[in-house]
């Protein structure tokens, strides 16, 4: 039986150049989507998938992430004294149990593969999730839970994918499949930004993975690839020589908060999805159009 997936790695140490100047003093993943930081949604998704320990890969100047997932005594006391218990509950809802979060410094942004490798000692010898927190995945059943179930079913490495918008596959990391039947298909490879017309499928890698721990041995000796960075996809290619990878087309909608228009779309979509704000949000948006 496949081991349980208990831990998730959240690499947040990138430069976030596409959302500057907002990300100059606020880590990209702490930018707000409607009324909470992007990371709040990602942690909620991880918890829904049964994740018990979150390992953040951080860089200098990202202390606000640790502060966000800690108590906020002055404000909590004030809210309690004023009887504002609904706000108090909101403020506390993302708090982990002590010991459920770890923070590792990447020290230099050498690439996603390097960021994941920084978690090796904390993950140890068990399968783990990687969640790219720029990608918000709105789904009835949490996207990561869908991936964990696919892992439990197969014991194979899982890469979550979704169809690229018409004519845009060349902008993404695209998977090659050994036939396509249903939502879970064995992968034969990956191509980063394929030339238009040469795409092996229309499915792009969208930011959630379940990986076996053998990936760390490969990342350890990984040469720098595209953009001079240590790429996770190159590491996965290495592991594919000895282990199976499955591409899971998950059910849900992805919002890429790593660029400005994606972040705007996410703000609108998540406001409209909130039963307590949907009507007011719709009115406000209509008035602007
Ligand atoms: P991105 O490709 O979105 O890079 O990384 P970025 O640097 O954050 O953003 P831009 O392109 O400059 O705007 C995907 C994820 O991997 C993390 C990022 O924080 C992001 O969550 N990452 C990337 C690291 O943690 N370390 C790295 O060295 C590179």
pLDDT in tens, 110-130: 999 999 999 999 999 999 999
pLDDT band per the 50, 70, 90 thresholds, residue 158:
very high
Question: Both ends of the chain: CA-CA distance in Å?
Answer: 54
The pLDDT assigned to 283 comes to 97
Say how far apart CA 90 and CA 47 lie, in whole Å: 16
Domain segments of the chain as ranges: 7-288
Q: Tell me how far the alpha carbon of residue 108 lies from the centroid of ligand 1, in angstroms.
A: 12
Q: Residues lining ligand 1, CB < 6 A?
A: 11-18, 28, 57, 106, 109-112, 114-115, 132-134, 258
Whose Cα sits closest to atom 2 in ligand 1?
A: 14
DSSP character at residue 251: S
Q: What's the whole-number mean pLDDT along residues 43-47?
A: 98
User: Which fold is adopted by the domain 7-288?
Assistant: Spore Coat Polysaccharide Biosynthesis Protein SpsA; Chain A (3.90.550)
Whose Cα sits closest to atom 10 in ligand 1?
A: 16
The pLDDT assigned to 64 comes to 94
The pLDDT assigned to 168 comes to 87
Which value, to the nearest 10 degrees, does the dihedral of the CA atoms of residues 269, 42, 182, 212 take?
Answer: 160
Residue of 10, 21, 59, 112 to test ligand 1 pocket, by largest number of atoms within 8 Å of CB: 112
Note the pTM of the prediction, 2 decimals.
0.95
**Treating both helix axes as pointing N-terminal to C-terminal, what angle do 73-81 and 85-92 enclose, rounded to 10 degrees?**
160
């Amino acid at each position: 039986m496949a081991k349980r997936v208990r831990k998730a790695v959240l690499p947040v140490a990138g430069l976030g150049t596409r959302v500057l100047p907002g990300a100059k003093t606020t880590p990209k993943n702490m930018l707000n989507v409607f009324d909470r930081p992007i990371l709040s949604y990602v942690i909620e998704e991880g918890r829904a998938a049964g994740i018990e320990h979150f390992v953040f890969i951080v860089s200098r100047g990202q202390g606000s992430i640790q502060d966000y997932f800690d108590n906020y005594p002055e404000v909590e006391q004030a809210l309690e004294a004023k009887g504002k218990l609904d706000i108090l509950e909101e403020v506390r809802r993302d708090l982990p149990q002590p010991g459920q979060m770890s923070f590792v410094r990447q020290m230099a942004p050498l690439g996603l593969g390097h960021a994941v490798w920084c978690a090796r000692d904390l993950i140890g010898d068990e399968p783990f999730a990687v969640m790219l927190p720029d990608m918000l995945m709105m789904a009835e059943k949490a996207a990561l839970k869908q991936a964990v179930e696919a892992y439990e079913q197969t014991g194979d490495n899982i890469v979550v994918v979704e169809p690229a918008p018409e004519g845009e596959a060349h902008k993404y990391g695209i998977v090659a499949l050994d036939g396509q039947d249903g939502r879970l298909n064995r992968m034969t490879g990956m191509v980063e930004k394929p030339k238009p017309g040469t795409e092996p499928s229309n499915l792009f890698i969208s930011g959630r993975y379940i990986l076996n721990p053998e990936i760390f041995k490969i990342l350890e000796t990984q040469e720098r690839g595209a953009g001079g960075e240590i790429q996770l996809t190159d590491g996965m290619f290495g592991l594919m020589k000895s282990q199976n990878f499955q591409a899971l087309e998950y059910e849900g909608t992805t919002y890429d908060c790593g660029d400005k228009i994606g972040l705007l779309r996410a703000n609108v979509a998540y406001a409209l999805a909130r039963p307590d704000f949907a009507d007011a949000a719709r009115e406000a948006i209509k008035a602007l159009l």
